[in-house]
């Protein structure tokens, strides 16, 4: 059988990567750094990096600079400019522009991040990446962390990379919440960090998800699983888990520049928060999801029609799943409260074990028949073995004439006609219901 085109898995269209270098050109970049200046080192490194990036397909790079248009004395907190817009094979333009820039001003990181949102062309099939290179903290009173997070939530760009030049103890605190922070305390480390960051942005990253039972055996599969972006809360990837004939989970390619929670959509779901993904590598995540079956058995049609069960985790007031009779459904191994919507309702606590089916059924109902057509007010109660009664149903006010399916057991009907002039004229009758039989009662007899 050949699946229609719409039902087949299509190879994803390769995403274009747009890489924006957000470069600090504030006055402090003229400070000496080992045998050179920070600005000279940054220019040299970016020159070399731009040349190496020119060889990549499906890549565009751009350059935004801040702190270079006004002297620091002017305290210009809008000193930020996109100096080289995005284009393929852009190395020559970036190198030329870098030679024309002289650091002089403030460090408006927050404003620059806000402006960078307009630098990326609108393209749903592009990965927007920012690499921030700075030797100073925000100097204009902005909140770079909140701004970065807001733009990530709007999917303007992915989690930024921040490279802090020098060894300022405040870097990690301010920049760590913005994105992935790297400390480049010396020139050699700066070169290594820059190479590593670009490699992370461009290398392929893969994951496998190993679904195991309580003994750690890799036996579970065929479960929907979702990689949730834990910044935006939106699903980035939806898969149905697969194992090959050798029992190995398949290899999935994902974008390592996002932060994920993995949700395995068993019943109930299991979440692995904040996946520790190593970019450019193959990552394996084990999730313990032992499962068994709840088998709702119904051997023949009944006068109820279709019966539904409400399934809750033991002790929880929240409905986990509704399941109809007859059917079989997988659940995580554990203990559940199952409520059958018979009349009266049947409540059971069941334990589901790995690889086993737990059966729940109900006795065939009988029927209560009241043939009289009386107007009034009445209720049905089930009688418990300890002599207590429990309300289960109200008779219709318009007429007492009913034919009602009930579970086998002892019952009581309490009824007062509308025309009766006092509570003392209430009729109380006890009766028994047996499977597949009709019990007829007469009120006020």
175: confidence class by pLDDT, cuts 50, 70, 90 = confident
Strands 205-212 and 80-87: unpaired
Closest Cα partner for 90 from 52, 136, 42? 52
Task: Please write the tens of the pLDDT for every residue from 388-399.
Answer: 999 999 999 989
User: Which pLDDT belongs to residue 54?
Assistant: 87
Rounded to two decimals, what is the model's pTM?
Answer: 0.81
Query: Which has the minimum average pLDDT: 171-175, 292-296, 432-436, 437-441?
Result: 171-175
Report d(CA 139, CA 288) in Å as an integer.
48
User: Which pLDDT belongs to residue 279?
Assistant: 87
Per the prediction, the chain carries an average pLDDT of 91
11: confidence class by pLDDT, cuts 50, 70, 90 = very low
Report d(CA 16, CA 62) in Å as an integer.
14
349: confidence class by pLDDT, cuts 50, 70, 90 = very high
What contacts 94, CB < 8 A, 6 or more positions away?
A: 21, 46, 47, 50, 61, 63, 84
Say if residues 24 and 135 touch (Cβ distance below 8 Å): yes
Return the number of other C-beta atoms located less than 10 Å from residue 386's C-beta: 5
Q: What are the distances in angstroms from CA 406 to CA 81, 411, 418?
A: 77, 9, 26
174: confidence class by pLDDT, cuts 50, 70, 90 = confident
Task: Please write the tens of the pLDDT for every residue from 402-414.
Answer: 999 999 999 999 9
- Average pLDDT value for residue range 383-392: 96
User: Which pLDDT belongs to residue 12?
Assistant: 54
Residue 10 confidence (pLDDT) above 70: no
Return the number of other C-beta atoms located less than 10 Å from residue 413's C-beta: 20
Say if residues 175 and 159 touch (Cβ distance below 8 Å): no
- Average pLDDT value for residue range 155-175: 82
User: Which pLDDT belongs to residue 213?
Assistant: 92
pLDDT, greater one: 199 or 329: 329
- Average pLDDT value for residue range 48-75: 90
4: confidence class by pLDDT, cuts 50, 70, 90 = low
User: Which pLDDT belongs to residue 225?
Assistant: 97
Residue 135 confidence (pLDDT) above 90: no
Residue 201 confidence (pLDDT) above 90: no
Residue 99 confidence (pLDDT) above 90: yes
Name the percent of the chain lying above pLDDT 70: 97
pLDDT, greater one: 10 or 308: 308
Report d(CA 345, CA 64) in Å as an integer.
67
Residue 27 confidence (pLDDT) above 70: yes
Report d(CA 10, CA 208) in Å as an integer.
20
434: confidence class by pLDDT, cuts 50, 70, 90 = very high
- Average pLDDT value for residue range 412-419: 96
pLDDT, greater one: 199 or 276: 276
Task: Please write the tens of the pLDDT for every residue from 270-323.
Answer: 999 999 998 889 999 999 999 999 999 998 889 998 999 999 999 999 999 999
Buried residues in 148-172 as b, exposed as e (16+ CB within 10 A): bbebbeeebbbbbbbbbbbebeebe
Task: Please write the tens of the pLDDT for every residue from 230-241.
Answer: 988 999 999 999
5: confidence class by pLDDT, cuts 50, 70, 90 = very low
- Average pLDDT value for residue range 173-192: 86
Residue 202 confidence (pLDDT) above 90: no
């Amino acid at each position: 059988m050949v699946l229609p085109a719409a039902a087949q898995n299509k190879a994803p269209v390769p995403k274009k990567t747009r890489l924006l270098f957000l470069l600090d050109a504030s006055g402090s970049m003229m400070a000496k750094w080992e045998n050179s200046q920070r600005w000279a080192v940054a220019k040299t490194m970016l020159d070399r990096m731009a040349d190496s990036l020119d060889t990549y397909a499906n890549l565009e790079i751009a350059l935004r600079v801040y702190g270079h248009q006004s002297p620091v004395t002017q305290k210009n907190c809008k000193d930020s400019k996109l100096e080289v817009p995005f284009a393929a094979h852009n190395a020559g333009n970036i190198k030329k522009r870098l030679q024309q820039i002289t650091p002089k001003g403030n460090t408006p990181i927050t404003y620059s991040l806000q402006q960078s949102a307009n630098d990326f062309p609108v393209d749903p099939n592009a990965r927007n990446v920012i690499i921030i290179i700075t030797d100073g903290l925000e100097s204009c009173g902005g909140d770079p962390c909140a701004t970065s997070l807001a733009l990530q939530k709007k999917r303007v760009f992915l989690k930024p990379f921040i490279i802090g030049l020098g060894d300022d103890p405040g870097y990690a605190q301010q920049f760590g919440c913005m994105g992935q922070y790297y400390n480049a305390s010396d020139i050699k480390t700066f070169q290594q960090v820059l190479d590593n960051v670009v490699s992370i942005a461009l290398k392929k990253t893969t994951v496998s998800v190993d679904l195991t039972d309580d003994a750690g055996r890799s036996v579970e599969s065929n479960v929907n699983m979702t990689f949730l972006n834990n910044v935006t809360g939106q699903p980035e990837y939806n898969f149905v888990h697969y194992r090959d004939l050798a029992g190995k989970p398949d290899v999935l390619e994902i974008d390592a520049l996002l932060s994920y929670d993995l949700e395995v959509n068993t019943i109930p779901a299991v979440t692995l928060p904040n996946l520790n993904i190593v970019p450019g590598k193959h990552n394996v995540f084990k999730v313990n999801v032992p499962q068994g079956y709840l088998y709702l058995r119904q051997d023949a049609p009944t006068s109820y029609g279709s019966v539904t069960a409400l399934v809750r985790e033991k002790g929880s007031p929240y409905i986990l799943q509704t399941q109809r009779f007859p059917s079989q459904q997988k659940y995580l191994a554990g203990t559940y409260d199952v409520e059958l919507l018979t009349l009266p309702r049947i409540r059971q606590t069941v334990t589901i074990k790995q690889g086993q089916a737990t059966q729940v059924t109900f006795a065939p109902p009988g029927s209560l028949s009241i043939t009289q057509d009386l107007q009034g007010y009445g209720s049905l109660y089930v009688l418990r073995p300890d002599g207590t009664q429990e309300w289960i149903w109200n008779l219709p006010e318009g007429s007492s004439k009913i034919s009602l399916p009930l579970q086998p057991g002892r019952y009581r009907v309490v009824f007062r006609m509308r025309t009766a002039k006092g509570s003392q004229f209430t009729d109380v009758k006890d009766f028994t219901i047996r499977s597949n039989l009709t019990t007829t009662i007469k009120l006020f007899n």
